[in-house]
Amino acid sequence: MSPNDIQAKIASFTCIEEALDYFEISFDRRFIDTNRVELVKRFNGYLILTKPDDWFSGRRALKNAYCKVQRSLLDKTTRSACRGCTSCQRR
């Protein structure tokens, strides 16, 4: 798949759930419903910073966005782990 193909595929998604399914990332529907706007903004921001050139780089951008939103909800005063983050590699 060429870089233009993956970018066209990402542009064709009508909702964030389609992107999560396409990139095979499991997700919590309640979390998505609550944080949809922040997740979409973060994902689009990562796509702007580094244009995905293959499926793996697109998946990495979405996983990073999902994890960043999850971690932003943790208590800043404690050193709590990223529990429940379905895509986090930082466990």
Per residue in 1-49, pLDDT (tens digit) is 677 888 899 999 999 999 999 999 888 899 999 999 999 999 999 999 9
Q: What is the DSSP letter of 12?
A: T
**Residue 24: partners with Cβ closer than 8 Å, 6 or more residues away:** 59
Q: Of all residues in the chain, what percent are helix, strand and coil, respectively (each to 5)? A: 60, 0, 40
Instruction: Give the pLDDT score at 89.
Output: 56
pTM comes to: 0.82
> DSSP assignment of 35-55, as one string?
HHHHHHHHHHHHHHHS---SH
- How far apart are alpha carbons 43 and 60 in whole angstroms? 10
Per residue in 40-82, pLDDT (tens digit) is 999 999 999 988 999 999 999 999 899 888 888 877 777 666 6
Answer for the pair 2, 51: CB distance below 8 angstroms, yes or no: no
- How far apart are alpha carbons 68 and 64 in whole angstroms? 6
